Structure 1
């Protein structure tokens, strides 16, 4: 199994490669990718250096072009495909069918991975993308149980990649409406939920802090209480006389205990979420997963979860708690 790690900047890319990533995924510094935060992502020069660094060590770099352009702006996304090919990227990760079609026609030798934003969860959907656009891999959305993943691996016409660790999303990827409902800026089109220009932090006289998204109160934190980046799905709201995480608690997906089962199913790649996180996060998480994967490949019959792996990953989890999410559920 490939270990595919995130990089929001050049130091993170280097950290991923140095700590065992087989491939790194990154984005350009614009709205063509779904992590378009200010100060994040790559200029052409940085990406060229990053690709050279990875290739010199036998690793790959994938370009995330996974947002949905408006028809009037399609040429910007097509130009991004051209740049990815020119820079020597090993694959693009895309969801919009017009963009996949353009890439297949204009750069047939550049592998195309179907993004999680494409929300392909059935054999029929995967077959369509494979036959029509020649995708070489598909990233499965984080809504499937482990049993569903196993069945898809057995029937899919292309290798499959699954999310292994990182932030969860309660929406079906590619169809989120929460951020656009509050801000008018769709994460699927504008590249980020909770765009920074809509975020306002205020410190209160008692030392507490409030955070608002386009004027809507998302959360209130006591003095010294850890605070995450505000998103609608992970805010605390007053409902029925109580204030709580009404939609989703801050927590991170962690499937490390499922590693043997994912390998046996034939999963081609394990993906770490977190292009918005720093080099320390990327390096630490990549190192744990590299050790776990190598230990399983070396002696699968003796593999077991090590306490130090669990502790290291929990330190980087949202809310310092982890979950198997939809991978583990009674119904599927």
Structure 2
């Protein structure tokens, strides 16, 4: 696909109806949300929508000129696929603009039962080659692919030139360093993992214990980090935990850090990216309002030939651990 001449589509998270409204009012072109069950990868208590709320959200979003995408992006359980099929039925009947899915069975069901339902391939499918993307497009009619967060801008460019679907790329929010859709690390310390039960490090397994002037973060039965008063800390997940190695505390996989690729919007558009995506359905309406407004202004500036740099400072205090990275886009995580 040739470089897009269209304006970049801004896709923002909506973990609740108030968050959805904040995203659209902040300048998002599209919002993505999930149903209140295990079919989506942000299955946290208090988040997501039921069927009636989804239908109302679709109507409101369309009235405002936006689009609503429904994430059905966990992997269905063997012998128990009914919940995922019902989610697809709910999506189609509610009039969503697209379903974001990863599971082959879910995609097959949606494509065969609801042939007019637009399908986007979730990042959870980790499709990062022309051959993989072509398979999903030809087999299930997928119209857009959300890229895994492991590709450089140069690799994204080569990929978009070789496929004939829309490409969506993450530009802001929490950064998972594992291969999307392949991580079960959380399930070793707590019940469930994001690709099966829709939640990494479930809140009911997280505890913070104060002792001797320090705060210890625990996941299940495991102490996974310890912080001094006022020290920046992220949400306790095993992949961003700190352990004592050679008598020194160090992060084993990656330190808490957030992706911010605002200064790469022009390069991503030249690479052929259609839409840019913000992560954070669990973060709340204040978060999405600020991020949507910042990226709306940056995208508008890009289209007008102005620099986007001034808007990046609007988000510095929202980053996990108060640190930002360009991720794999420059092949240097920090």
> 1:161 corresponds to which residue?
168
Normalising to structure 1: TM-score of the pair? 0.95
Deviation (angstroms), 1:184: 4.6
> 2:5 corresponds to which residue?
none
**Structure 2: how far apart are the matches of 1:158 and 1:278?**
31
> 2:29 corresponds to which residue?
22
**Structure 1: how far apart are the matches of 2:86 and 2:63?**
26
1:152 and 2:156 correspond: no
Deviation (angstroms), 1:122: 0.3
> 2:4 corresponds to which residue?
none
Pick one of 292, 296, 299 that aligns with 2:298. Answer: 292
Pick one of 105, 108, 114 that aligns with 1:107. Answer: 114
**Structure 2: how far apart are the matches of 1:316 and 1:177?**
27
1:320 and 2:326 correspond: no
Is 2:11–2:31's contact at 8 Å kept on the other side of the alignment? yes
1:221 and 2:227 correspond: yes
Deviation (angstroms), 1:266: 1.7
Structure 2 regions of 5+ residues with no counterpart?
Answer: 1-7
**Structure 1: how far apart are the matches of 2:248 and 2:230?**
22
Is 2:153–2:271's contact at 8 Å kept on the other side of the alignment? no
> 2:273 corresponds to which residue?
267
Normalising to structure 2: TM-score of the pair? 0.94
**Structure 2: how far apart are the matches of 1:276 and 1:37?**
8
**Structure 2: how far apart are the matches of 1:329 and 1:116?**
19
Q: Secondary structure at the match of 1:188?
A: coil
1:306 and 2:305 correspond: no
**Structure 2: how far apart are the matches of 1:35 and 1:58?**
26
CA 1:326/1:28 → structure 2, altered by over 3 Å: closer, same or farther? same
After superposition, residues 115-126 of structure 1 pair within 5 angstroms as 115-126=122-133
Q: Deviations over 1:150-181 (max 9, x none)?
A: 11111112110000111111111000121122
Q: Deviations over 1:119-176 (max 9, x none)?
A: 1000000000000000010000000011000111111121100001111111110001
Pick one of 239, 252, 256 that aligns with 2:258. Answer: 252
Deviation (angstroms), 1:226: 4.0
Residue correspondences, number: 326
> 1:10 corresponds to which residue?
17
Q: Secondary structure at the match of 1:72?
A: coil
The alignment's C-alpha RMSD in Å is: 1.5
Q: Deviations over 1:199-258 (max 9, x none)?
A: 222222x34221211111011122343443210011111111111222111111111111
1:98 and 2:115 correspond: no
**Structure 2: how far apart are the matches of 1:49 and 1:277?**
22
Pick one of 245, 249, 260 that aligns with 1:243. Answer: 249
Runs of 4+, deviation exceeding 6 Å: none
After superposition, residues 36-115 of structure 1 pair within 5 angstroms as 36-115=43-122
> 1:136 corresponds to which residue?
143
Is 2:10–2:275's contact at 8 Å kept on the other side of the alignment? yes
> 2:183 corresponds to which residue?
176
Deviation (angstroms), 1:186: 2.4
